[in-house]
Structure 1
Amino acid sequence: MSDKHTANSVPPVNDDTRKKKPGFLKIIQTVLAGALGVQSNRRREEDFSSSSPLPYIVAGIIFVLGFVVTIALVVQWVIHAYGNQG
């Protein structure tokens, strides 16, 4: 047999590869997908197998704060722009 893996073989699992830190883009994609409710089961399992939930928690809090501030600014703008017409 050769050392190369065939299409049906499973590569060896290393705990270091399973517990690696997620990248910035992956965290952002996960937070946005979670906010929209379109997270795939495979991606969710990858996220839960990462080394620490802290990056996801921080990114989620930043997203929620940014979302709330954006909504508040839009409401203030609409009230200011259209509130004096009555």
Structure 2
Amino acid sequence: MNDGNHDEREVPPRGLTLWQTLQSVTASMFGVQSRRNRERDFTRGKASHFIIIGLLAVIAFVLVLVAIVQLLLRHAGM
């Protein structure tokens, strides 16, 4: 008999994909993270993933800046 209670098992939320984590870290670095994504990050994301991706993003950012400065200095003849 169907008494209106379906056997709908609650599906546990999946973790974030690498791409979603990278997008969230990038958006947060620029300060433009949406409320919906921020809530998703706090409910489905793992802090360790955000820390690792964040550190890698900061290191990549610094290396790009160093490369640009060296290129400009070389071009200026210094």
Which of the five TM-score ranges fits, normalised by the shorter chain?
0.7 to 0.9
1:22 equivalent in structure 2: 16
- Which consecutive residues of structure 1, in runs of 5 or more, have no partner in the other structure? 4-11
TM-score (norm 1): 0.73
3-state DSSP of counterpart to 1:60: helix
2:34 equivalent in structure 1: 40
3-state DSSP of counterpart to 1:72: helix
1:80 equivalent in structure 2: 74
TM-score (norm 2): 0.79
The one-character-per-residue Cα deviations of 1:62-83 (angstroms, maximum 9, x if unpaired) are 0000000000010011011113
2:25 equivalent in structure 1: 31
Q: How many residues align?
A: 72
Q: What is the alpha-carbon distance in structure 2 between the residues aligned to residue 47 and residue 13 of structure 1?
A: 23
- Which consecutive residues of structure 2, in runs of 5 or more, have no partner in the other structure? none
Give every structure 1 segment of 4 or more consecutive aligned residues whose post-TM-superposition deviation is greater than 3 Å.
12-15
3-state DSSP of counterpart to 1:80: helix
